[in-house]
A and B are shown apart, each in its own frame.
Chain A
Amino acid sequence: LLPCEIQYDGHAAVDKYFTPTI
């Protein structure tokens, strides 16, 4: 869940820019 509203539905290169961390 993001703390911002992205006005778009569709593909995002999440794994290129984010590294999930617990």
Chain B
Amino acid sequence: MELEKFERNNWGSCRLSSLVPPLCRNQHCCLGIDEAGRGPVLGPMVYGICFCPLSNKQDLEELKVADSKTLSEAERERLFEKLDSLKEYLGWALQILSPNVISTSMQQRVKYNLNALSHDTAIALIQYALDSGVQLREVFVDTVGPAEKYQEKLKQRFPELEITVKPKADSLFPIVSAASICAKVARDRAVKSWKFLEDLGDVNLDYGSGYPNDPKTKEWLARNLDPVFGYPQFVRFSWSTAQTIVDSRAVPVRWDDCDGDEKSSSKGSQSMLSFFARKKDDTKHQPHRFFQERKLETVKDL
């Protein structure tokens, strides 16, 4: 798993994949999806898929890839190497969502929450497998949200596939567990090899668990907050823990849509007649249209 592509450009989104085994193009296959790094306030989130012919499901069970959450980082690495060696029949693909992509997606003007981002990423990976010629028949998906709605959404999108969405699917379906291993290993490596884009000198990487309720992580966030620029792009700005520290310790910044937000929460809409009423300063000298159109004004005082 070469992460160099992501390491070079860790502010964007990155797709990594193995070669597609020829067997997967000739035989009916199953595919598992899982994620890694949904909860932390630091580092990327990774979506992973694994796929193999239905006839090889048993081989995965024998590998004992289930219960990946109980494994250490080193054990996960070892398991991944094992999975990667099964090139004859097992393929994988990953979508790495950088903290910057997560933050900008969640904070854009049109609502786009983490669930929607997650679903779209999963859908894109399934589509990638189909586009790569994998003869998919069964898809197994792990979820933290309501399973039925998500399953319905995927079934509508891929009506030809048999889709199963279940919480803790990684402990029920080995193909999901295999995907989970791939995703977790990718996230571990991405975090370990993270290159700070920002010229911050020697950044102390002792940030604890990276989870928002970890006091050590909160302390790291506060220590690495620049009052004008906020955090390094290693941080998910859209997490409320991160936002709270910014609100209290960074300088206020106002954007073009700030007034819009304030106005929309105020008393009520204006009467149509108010647009036709003469304004108080109509008799005041109006600058020539040349200046108004270009937002140029006379200066009375600096």
Contacts and interface: CB of A to CB of B under 8 A. Distances in A.
Given A15-B199, A16-B198, A16-B200, A5 B253 contact: yes
B252 interface: yes
B259 to A, nearest CB: 11
A13 B224 CA distance: 13
Given A15-B199, A16-B198, A17-B198, A4 B254 contact: yes
Is chain A's interface secondary structure helix, strand, loop, or mixed overall? Answer: mixed
A22 interface: no
Interface string B231-252: 0000000000000000000011
Given A4-B254, A8-B227, A8-B251, 15 more contacts: A3-B255, A4-B253, A4-B255, A5-B253, A5-B254, A6-B251, A6-B252, A7-B251, A7-B253, A8-B228, A16-B199, A16-B200, A16-B226, A17-B198, A17-B226
B229 interface: yes
A2 to B, nearest CB: 9
A13 B229 CA distance: 8
Contacts of B255: 3-5
Interface residues of A, number: 11
Nearest to B251: A8
Contacts of B254: 4-5, 7
Contacts of B252: 6-8
Contacts of A12: 228-229
Q: Which of A4, A5, A15, A16 has the most CB of B within 10 A?
A: A16
B224 to A, nearest CB: 12
- 6 nearest A-B residue pairs (beta carbon): A8-B251, A12-B228, A7-B252, A17-B229, A16-B199, A5-B254
B256 interface: yes
A15 B252 CA distance: 20
A8 B199 CA distance: 22
Contacts of A8: 227-228, 251-252
11 contacts: A4-B254, A6-B228, A6-B252, A8-B227, A8-B228, A8-B251, A12-B229, A13-B226, A16-B198, A16-B226, A17-B198
A17 to B, nearest CB: 4
Nearest to A6: B253
A8 B254 CA distance: 11
